[in-house]
Amino acid sequence: MKVLVTGGGGFIGSHVCEYYARRHHQVIALDNLSRFKLLKKSSANALYNWNHLSKLGVIRRVRMNIGDFSALRKIMSGVNLVVHTAAQTAVTMSVLDPLTDFKSNAIGTLNLLEAARQQKKPPVVVVCSTNKVYGENVNQVRIRELKTRYVFQKAYRLGIAEDFGVDLCEHTPYGCSKLSADLYAQDYARLYGVKTGVFRMSCIYGTRQFGVEDQGWIAWFVIAAVTKKPVTIFGDGKQVRDVLWVDDLIRAFDAFYGSHEKHTVLNMGGGVRNTLSLLELVSFLKERGFSLKTRFAPWRSSDQKVYISNIRKAKRVLAWEPQTSPGEGVSRLVEWCVQNKNLFL
């Protein structure tokens, strides 16, 4: 089949490209290579994943902005599956520049959906949404404080399900733009019949992830540990996320493509069995010989103390479940960062 991956030069996008290329499908990676410029970080490793794709030899790489509707509609011709990972990904950046955030996340996704609708045979569209669509409502769930983490009360012991409220709460511009994209994807399925899968993702991590303080916290902590850089923990470090290894995520995407579902919204993460707090990750790294330098700072606005995806629907609908434990995944990431230490210096 023919697969188009927007944001193909990014962390998740490049893994999606590689997954389908290694299975001998025709893959187009589309990216404007703007992430590090938007985050105002060093661009020294901005092309790493983009160049990695060139080594596979069978992936067509196109440098393009999804805001170019005519070009997007043209390149989508004959495509069977679109995996839409292109986005502005940092909450902090969205607060500093909400207009750019909205253009990338909301308008960019609308362009993509409309380009898909206008094809003779619309492709299946996978949209990468986020747990941030639930906003501050998550912090209304009662929690208990333990030694190294916060935990949800019993009513939410399996995590946040897809019917959890998104209204009447603070979201941040990032949450607003991603929720807009999320809702448009749902409507394009219902109104126009485009098969769309909306994946509201929690913490996705893996190799070739260039985490920074603003986004990709597991990778950022591991990189800092390997390179002996200091890390700032905002709050007390007991905040918890469910974590999902990137290969497990892509298996879920592929399962949706092959399913009979015409449209679905899925909370996507490691679920209640695959969780980490910041303090627990620091301890895990110290146990493996990495002395992570940490300092504490006040809580950041809109930070969720606990977010865990309830993945029962994903298990049922996709016949899928995570296969990589946090211990195994973080160990793999540490090994990759050690082997590629020069990328982070």
Q: What are phi and psi of 63, to 5 degrees?
A: -90, 110
> Helix crossing, 246-257 with 11-21: angle to 10°?
60
Measure the CA–CA gap between 102 and 90, rounded to whole angstroms: 12
b/e 6-28 (16+ beta carbons within 10 angstroms → b)? bbbbbbbbbbbbbbbbeeebbbb
Q: How many CB atoms lie within 10 A of CB 342?
A: 8
The pair of structure tokens assigned to 59 is 């992936």
Catalytic residue selected from 19, 174, 188, 307: 174
Nearest one of 172, 207, 3, 167 to 88, comparing CA atoms: 172
Question: What distance lies between CA 52 and its chain's CA centroid?
Answer: 20
Residue 201 forms beta bridges with which residues?
A: 130, 268
Q: Is 156 a catalytic residue?
A: no
Query: Phi and psi dihedrals of 332, rounded to 5?
Result: -65, -40
Write the CA distances from 330 to 34, 89, 106, integer angstroms.
27, 21, 32
CA dist 145 → 83, 154, 279, 304, 307 (Å): 38, 13, 13, 14, 14
N-terminal to C-terminal alpha carbon distance within the chain = 40
Q: Which residues are catalytic?
A: 174
